[in-house]
Chains A and B, each alone.
Chain A
Amino acid sequence: MRLVKAEVVKLLTTNTWWLFALGALVTWAGTFAINATVAHFTMGAAAPEGVSTEDAANFAVVSDQIYQAANLYTSGQFFGLLFVVLLGIVMVTSEFYHQTATSTFLTTPHRTAVISAKLVVAAVAGLLFWLFTTALNIPATMIFLGAEDLPTHLGDSIVQRAILLNGLAYLLWGILGVGIGVLIRSQIAATVTSVLAYLLGTALIGVLFTLLAGWLNQDWIEKIQYGLPSVASGLMVAGRNLPNQPDYWVGAVVLIIWAVVTGTIGTLITRRRDIS
């Protein structure tokens, strides 16, 4: 408990947390505006004439109110998760960047306990980011749907599931951040790698696997992309499955595996590492 308190004090006595929260707020506002615009034009609309049956099936799901409501209530996830993972990374790498690891491990020679405290605090910080965006999403979505003369859908179990699983995603990304931070100790390398992998990698690998699947005519290859943490978390909060998409819980399982594996490997490495 001491160590958790120490990690909280560490987090609150530098500028990182509120800068990241500000980033999450700004990107949330942008994402919500885009999501609302898309929802406005797709909900209830019929599929355009002359598209393939496959595209028509996709369109039917996307134009579904529940799909759009779940998407709106979880707005800001894409960038919110990025800020949460960066926060987790910085919690570890700043110790090496600012050489505070020495005093941290002098105070607490039990390194597993230190990393565990970081995992707990990063997970809780992730949850707080979720609470923060959800507290903005719920009234904003209700107002938007009200203006569209539509029900809020907040009582719908699929929408509620999406909101709660969104919380799980935020929590797991906090843990993932600590794991990445331990694996890539250099602050700059860890943050740049993560941001690039998150922003570019997600899109590139999605395209790559889709192309590969088409080329080799093997549908399963396309599904490999759901093994990526970012794609998996999007899947987790989907209100309706797109055709050809795994179920939402697959996303949750994938994310949990990532968080556990990086967290465990990170802790084991830290136990052995020489601090100099």
Chain B
Amino acid sequence: MSDGQIVVSGLTKRYKNLLAVDDLSFSVASGRVTGFLGPNGAGKTTTLRMLLNLVTPTGGTATIGGRRYADLTDPLRTVGAVLEASSAHRGRTGRNHLRVLCAAAGLPSHRADEVLEMVGLTPAAKRKFKGYSLGMRQRLGIAAAMLGDPHVLILDEPANGLDPEGIRWMRSFLQGLAQQGRTVLVSSHLLSEMELLADDVVIIAAGKLVRQGPVAEVLASMTTTAHVRVRTPQAEALTAALTEVPGASVTPRSDGTLLVTGVEAPAIGKAALAGGVELHELTPERPDLEGVFLELTAGKAGIR
């Protein structure tokens, strides 16, 4: 399903005195879950809304399967989107909300019941939207996105407001969709969640691309220097012993451990043995996505 590829190229959005998205380019492959990461205010939502023709870009293009969203003949059958502000009329039932969309998209109205079943909302189908919990609202948004059985799914912060059970359900649901060959693009600022969910990541900060690629590669690109946590009652003796090892540098940490960088754990153990230093802990530290993320976006986050 190569037709589900999302390509963003030179996308720019300038508001009066804010460059929300700045010459952003990336691509999203089908058959994989791609995490779209960035701190709050990085321009994630604006980018997704430009991709979906809700916001007009100042410059650049965004295409899905080679076509702009506005040019899709049957948008709901091609792309399903769950946006942060996905909402329904408070006085309308969930089922009727979906039926409105069916009518507008020319889909048979029994699709409404099918997607409600798919997201487990059938018992609440005839309840008004104002009586829905946050989790139920997110499920209704996903149901709406699935109406046209689209190849491409775009979700903006879908984990917001979900309980752990809901998050787990969402994860397996999205991964299942990707395994069927669909394109799944999920934005989030919850990094731990993305590490479990995504195959690829696109990281942006201050409207600019920071890094893009498979999760493992992005992590690996950051682990150029080894980080090892060492706990010892003889910190001074170990520091002295490590001065003999080329490249090693020792930094005491506030919790009483030492952070050793520049050498791998076996070299540290060997130096400790040679120097007669007692070790209580020797743990290689791999930066997780969160650490990478904070490192990459440091100083670019926050209020702009």
Interface residues of A (CB under 8 A from B): 2-3, 5-6, 9-10, 13-16, 94, 98-100, 102-110, 272, 274-276
Contact of B179 with A by CB under 8 A: no
Contact of B104 with A by CB under 8 A: yes
Contact present for B103 and A2 (CB under 8 Å): yes
Decide yes or no: A6 and B103 within 8 Å by CB, A98-B87, A98-B88, A106-B75 being known contacts. yes
Name B63-113 residues within 8 Å CB distance of A.
69-70, 72, 75-76, 79, 81, 83, 85-93, 96-97, 99-101, 103-106
Contact present for B49 and A275 (CB under 8 Å): yes
Interface of B is mostly: mixed
Contact present for B45 and A276 (CB under 8 Å): yes
Contact present for B100 and A6 (CB under 8 Å): yes
CB-defined contacts of B52 to chain A, threshold 8 Å: 106
Add 9 more A-B contacts to A6-B100, A6-B103 (CB < 8 A): A9-B103, A10-B92, A13-B93, A102-B54, A102-B87, A103-B144, A272-B56, A276-B49, A276-B54
CB-defined contacts of A104 to chain B, threshold 8 Å: 104
Contact present for B54 and A9 (CB under 8 Å): no
CB-defined contacts of B99 to chain A, threshold 8 Å: 9, 13
Decide yes or no: A5 and B144 within 8 Å by CB, A106-B54, A106-B75 being known contacts. no
CB-defined contacts of B298 to chain A, threshold 8 Å: none
| CA distance in complex: A104, B102 (Å) | 11
Contact present for A100 and B76 (CB under 8 Å): no
Contact present for A276 and B55 (CB under 8 Å): yes
Contact of B53 with A by CB under 8 A: yes
Contact present for A98 and B83 (CB under 8 Å): no
| CA distance in complex: A10, B96 (Å) | 8
5 pairs of A and B residues whose beta carbons are closest in the complex: A6-B104, A99-B87, A13-B96, A6-B103, A275-B54
CB-defined contacts of A109 to chain B, threshold 8 Å: 53, 69-70, 72, 75
When A and B form their complex, what is the total count of cross-chain residue pairs whose Cβ atoms lie within 8 Å? 89
Contact present for B89 and A14 (CB under 8 Å): yes
Contact present for B55 and A275 (CB under 8 Å): yes
Interface of A is mostly: helix
Contact present for B85 and A102 (CB under 8 Å): yes
Per-residue CB proximity of B129-162 to A under 8 Å, as 1/0?
0000000000000001000000000000000000
Interface residues of B (CB under 8 A from A): 45-46, 49, 52-56, 69-70, 72, 75-76, 79, 81, 83, 85-93, 96-97, 99-101, 103-106, 144
Decide yes or no: A106 and B76 within 8 Å by CB, A13-B100, A100-B87 being known contacts. yes
For residue A198, give the distance in angstroms from its CB to the closest CB of chain B.
Answer: 25
For residue B80, give the distance in angstroms from its CB to the closest CB of chain A.
Answer: 9
| CA distance in complex: A144, B49 (Å) | 60
Closest B residue, CB atoms, query A15: B91
Closest A residue, CB atoms, query B56: A274
CB-defined contacts of A6 to chain B, threshold 8 Å: 100-101, 103-104
Contact present for B96 and A274 (CB under 8 Å): no
For residue B21, give the distance in angstroms from its CB to the closest CB of chain A.
Answer: 12
CB-defined contacts of B106 to chain A, threshold 8 Å: 2
| CA distance in complex: A5, B91 (Å) | 19
Contact present for A274 and B54 (CB under 8 Å): yes
Interface centre among A94, A100, A103 (most CB of B within 10 A): A103
Closest A residue, CB atoms, query B70: A109
Decide yes or no: A14 and B92 within 8 Å by CB, A99-B87, A106-B52, A107-B104 being known contacts. yes
Contact present for B105 and A105 (CB under 8 Å): no
| CA distance in complex: A6, B76 (Å) | 14
| CA distance in complex: A228, B98 (Å) | 40
Closest B residue, CB atoms, query A107: B104
What are 14 A-B contacts defined by CB distance under 8 Å? A3-B104, A9-B103, A10-B89, A13-B97, A99-B86, A102-B86, A103-B101, A105-B54, A106-B52, A106-B75, A106-B79, A109-B70, A109-B72, A275-B55
CB-defined contacts of A98 to chain B, threshold 8 Å: 87-90
CB-defined contacts of A5 to chain B, threshold 8 Å: 103-104
| CA distance in complex: A3, B101 (Å) | 9
